[in-house]
Chain A
Amino acid sequence: MYGTGLAKGLLLTMRHFVESYVDDIRYGFRKYHHATDNFGIRQGTKTKGVITVQYPDEKVAVPERFRFVPFLIIEDEDHPTRAGKDWCTSCGICAKVCPPQCIWIVRGNDPNTGRPVPEPEAFFIDIDICMNCGYCAEYCPFDAIKMDHDYELASYDRTTHHIHDKEKLSKPNSYWRSIAPTRAYEEMLARGTWEHKDAAKEARRGAASPRRSAPRPAVEQPAASAPAKSEATGPAEANAAPAPTAEGATPWTEDEAKREERRRKALERKARRAAQRGQ
C-alpha cells in the first residue's frame, strides 16, 4: 500500500527519538556526573540513542595514540642528574621525515670547541603547516618528540602563536607518561630503560667507575611499576594520572593556570640552565 514505506521510516525516527531519552531516564540526574561510568557506555557500542557530548562540561578523552601537534620531551624537574635537559639530540631525523617540512632545528654547538653537541639550540614547529601526521614521533630514534593530546589551541593571533619554539614545545617526560602510560611503557621496554638512551649509556659507562652508579636504579624502580599498575586497574587509575582540578572551576581558568605554570617552569628551567652554562 502506498505510504507504508513512509510510515515505517517515520516509526523508525520515532524509535530513535525515544531511545535517546531512555538513556536519560536510566541515569536520571547523574547523567553528566563524572564519577559514574556511564560515559563509557553512552559513547560506546552499547548505547542506542543519539547522545551529545556536553563539551566543554564533559569532553571525550582522547586515546593514547591520538596525535595533535608535536611536543618535545625534556627531563623532569626532579630528575637527579639531568633535570630540564632535552631528550632531543638534534639528530635531524624528524625534520627529514616531516612531510610538509615544518620542523626547523638549529643544532647545538659547543661554544668552545665548535663541535656539535647532542642538544638542539633552537627547535621550531610551524603548526600552521603541521599536518599532525605523527611521523616525527614515529621515527625519532630517541623518543624525544611526541604527539600532544592538547587540542585546545584556538588563538586570536597566528603570527605570534603558531610557530612553536622550543620553550613552548618542551614538556616534561612525566607529562608524556601521564598522557600515554601504555606507550611510554612499551617504549621503555624497547629502550630497556626509563632513562634517555644516552643517559643510560653514560650511566653504564659511569657504573664501571663507582662514582655515578647510584641514581639510576632508584629512578627506574618506582617508575617501572606505575604504568603496570594503571594497566591492571584500568581507567580509574588513568583518570587520576594528571593533577585533578577543583570541581566547578571553569576549564578556561584552569587551563590558563596550567599554561601559566608550564611557562613559569620553563623559564625557571631556562634560567637554571643558563646559570649552569655560565659556570
Chain B
Amino acid sequence: MDNPGLAPEKRLDATTVEEAIAYLRLEYADVVSTDDREGYQGLIVDSKRLVQIARVIHDDLGFDYLSSATAVDYLGAGDQMEMVYHAYRTSGGGALVFKAQTDREKAEIPSLTSIWRGADFQEREAWDLMGIRFPGHPNLKRILMWEGFHGHPLRKDWREAYYEEDQKPFDNRWPGGHVHRAEEKNVFGKNVTYPPDIDLGRLMDSSETAVYQSLGLGVDVERIMDKDGFETNELVVNMGPHHPSTHGVFRMVLTVDGETVTSLEPVMGYLHRNHEKIGERNTYLHNIPFTDRLDYISSMGNNHGYVLAVEQLMSLGRKYNPPTYRCEALRVLMVELSRIVNHLWAIGFWLNDIGAFFTPVLYFVQERERILDFFEAVAGSRMMCNYMRFGGLFGDLPERLKSVSNLTNDRVRDYNTMQFLTEMINERIPRTIDDLERLLTQNEILIERSVGVGVLSREDAINYSAAGPLLRGSGVDYDIRRADPYSIYPELDFDVAVEAEGDMYARYRVRVTELRESVRILKQILPRLEATAGESIWADGKPGAYAPRVPHGEAYGRVENGKGELGYYVVSAGGRGGSSNPWRYHVRAPSFINLTPMGIMSRGYKVADIVGILGSIDIVLGETDR
C-alpha cells in the first residue's frame, strides 16, 4: 500500500504515529486540528470530510485496523457529541486517535463502514445508545436495545427508571440509610418508565419486524421475496436466543436455501446489562468488580485492561506510583492462567458444537476447577476475581492455599501455594494440553468437520476488526502483547501463534499453540515470583485509596484477552483535582466486534456448520452485550 501520489523519502505507512499526525496536520490543515484538551491526544477531524481523511489514514498511512469506535456525550462540557476512533497498524505500534464532533440535537457523522467494515456494529451501537446517525451505514438499526425503545440511554440527560443520582456513592445510603427496594419506589413495581404519550391502543411490538427487515425481508415472513420480486424457497430460521449452542442468549437469524445458509444476521442485546451506563455512575473503583462480569470466563484479564486504562490516566497526574515488579508478575500469572481457562473452555464448547458432546468439556472443566481453586484461594471467588487494583492488587499470594472448615461435612485442603503453582504449571496443565492434542488434533472427524469451514480471509479479518485467535487464525501476526506491549510482556519469551488458513481448524490450532505459549510464559513467571517473594505489591507499601481522584484526560487501555483485544476507553472529566467517577467508560469488547464478520464467514456453509463457526469465534455474551 505505498503511496505514489505523495512519495516522500519515507513511505507514509512506515511513519511513526507522531509523524503521521504531523503529516495530517500539514496536509489537511483546514479540516484537521490537534486535540489540545488537557490529557487528550490525537486529532479532531471535521466531520464533513471525515471519510476522506479516514481514507488517507487507512490507505496511505497504513492504519488498517480500526480497533475501537465509540461515542462520547459532552453534555455541559462543550455540548457536543464526539465519535472517537482508535486505528492501529497490524504491523504494530501505537494508536492514531481521531475524533469527529457533531451537534447533540442533530447528531450526524458520516459512516466509516466503507473504509473499515469493523465499524459496522460499533456505529450501530453508537446510534442505539447515543443517538448518533451515520449516513452511509448500510443497516443502521438498534443493536443492543430493541427497535422502538424510547430514547438513547447513554446520553447524559437520559435517566433510567431507578435513577437516584448522577454519581455514586448515593447520599441516601449513609448516614440515614433506610433500606428500600428500588421497585417499591416505582409505581409499576418494575424497572420501567413510560413516555407520557404512550398509546396502549396502538401498541405494537416492532422489535421483531425490524429484525427481519434488516435482512432485507418483508414484514410478512411467510412469503419471502428475493430482491427481484421472485418467490424463492428460502426459509428463515431463528437460532436462539435460548439455543443450546449459541453460548448464551445470542440469536442468529438465518436465511437458508435448503441446508445452505445464504445470509446470517446476528441479533444481540439479550444480555445487555447497561454496563457502560452503570459504569459512568460508578466510581473508578466500583467498576473493577463490574468488569469481572464482562467476559466472565476470564475475569482476571478484564480487570487487567481496566486497571491499565485507569493507571494510564493516573500517570498524567502528579502523584502516581506505577505497580511494583512483583505486582506485574502476579498480574501476568493470573492473566495467563485465565487465558488457559478461557481457551480450554472455548475449545471444549466448540467441540460440543461440532458434535463431540461433553466428553472433552468435562475433562477441561476438571482442569479449570483446579485453576479456579487457586483463584478462589488467592482472590476470594472462583469466577468474579476482582483481584486487581489501581497500582496494585487485592493481596499477595497467600502462603498456603488453605481452606477452613466452617460448615458441617466440610473437607479441608491445604497446599503450599508455590508448590501448587509449580505442580500445576510444570505438570498438570502441560499434561492436559497433551491430552487435548492427543484427543483432538489428529481426530479425523474433527478435521473433516473443521478444515475449510468458516473461512475468513486475511484482508477481511483485518478490515472487519477481528481480534484474537480469529485474527491470528487468518494469518495476521497480531498479538497486543507483542504489537503494543504492556506490563512485563516485553521481557518474556513467547511466540505469537499464527495460522494462515483462516478456517475453524486454524483457530483451533491457534488456541492450542497459545495454551502452550501461556504455559511457557507461566514457567518464566515462576522464578520471578520466587525472586520477588516478600516484596510489596504496592509501590509505597500500602494499599491505594478507596476513592482515587483521577486527573482530567482520556485513556485507552487494551490487553490481549483470551477472546481478543479487550480495550477500555475511559474519559475523566473532573475539574482541577480530577474526578472520582469516569465521564465515559466504554468497553471495546472482542466478542462483540468479532461477530461483525460472522455474516460473511457463514455464507454458503451448512446450518450444522454455523454453530461450529460461532463456537470457533468464541464469544461470551456478558461481553458481547455488556
Contact = CB atoms under 8 A, between A and B. Distances in A.
Direct contact between the two chains A and B in their complex (CB within 8 A): yes
A56 B384 contact: no
A95 B169 contact: yes
Interface string B378-399: 1111001010000000110010
Given A238-B404, A238-B412, A5 B443 contact: yes
Interface stretch (A102-110, A199-207, A209-217, A267-275): A102-110
Given A61-B405, A152-B407, A9 B384 contact: no
A99 B175 contact: no
Nearest to B370: A45
Nearest to B436: A12
A61 B412 contact: yes
Contacts of A101: 164, 168-170, 173
Interface stretch (B150-158, B176-184, B260-268): B176-184
A44 B413 contact: yes
Contact of B362 (A50, A150, A152): A50
Contacts of A107: 174-176
A218 to B, nearest CB: 26
Interface string B274-317: 00000000100111111001000000000000000000000000
B149 interface: no
Given A64-B404, A238-B402, A135 B411 contact: no
Interface string B424-442: 1001100000010011111
A17 B406 CA distance: 33
Contacts of B420: 44-45
A98 B370 CA distance: 30
Interface size class of A (residues with CB under 8 A): 35 or more
A139 interface: yes
A244 to B, nearest CB: 9
Interface residues of B, number: 71
A99 B409 contact: no
A166 to B, nearest CB: 11
Contacts of B381: 66-67, 132, 134
A147 B174 contact: no
Interface stretch (A21-29, A76-84, A177-185): A177-185
A135 B168 CA distance: 15
Contacts of A45: 370, 415, 420, 423-424, 427-428
Contacts of B174: 90, 92, 95-96, 103-105, 107
B379 A65 contact: yes
A132 to B, nearest CB: 6
Given A50-B366, A178-B404, A43 B413 contact: yes
Interface string A150-173: 101000000000010100000000
B357 interface: no
A149 interface: yes
A255 B409 CA distance: 11
A261 interface: no
B405 A239 contact: yes
A133 B181 contact: no
Interface string B157-171: 000000010001110
B491 interface: no
A66 B402 CA distance: 11
A61 B410 contact: yes
A57 interface: yes
B547 interface: yes
Contacts of A67: 380-381
Contact of B285 (A3, A43, A63, A135): A135
B104 to A, nearest CB: 29
Nearest to A238: B404
Contacts of A138: 394, 543
B439 to A, nearest CB: 4
Nearest to B422: A45
A2 B395 contact: no
B547 to A, nearest CB: 7
Contacts of A93: 546
A265 interface: no
B423 A131 contact: no
Interface in A1-37: 2-6, 8-9, 12-13, 16, 34
A248 to B, nearest CB: 11
Given A44-B415, A64-B403, A65-B395, A9 B438 contact: yes
Contacts of B359: 13
B380 A65 contact: yes
Given A59-B411, A96-B547, A239-B405, 12 more contacts: A13-B439, A61-B403, A63-B402, A66-B377, A67-B380, A97-B547, A101-B170, A103-B174, A135-B289, A178-B404, A245-B408, A254-B408
7 contacts: A6-B445, A8-B439, A43-B411, A43-B413, A45-B420, A58-B411, A96-B174
Interface of A: 2-6, 8-9, 12-13, 16, 34, 39-40, 43-46, 50, 53, 56-67, 90, 92-93, 95-99, 101, 103-107, 116, 122, 124, 126, 131-135, 138-139, 147, 149-150, 152, 163, 165, 178-182, 234-235, 238-239, 241-242, 245, 249, 251, 254-255
10 tightest A-B contacts by CB?
A104-B177, A5-B442, A107-B175, A92-B174, A133-B289, A61-B403, A99-B286, A124-B179, A63-B377, A61-B410
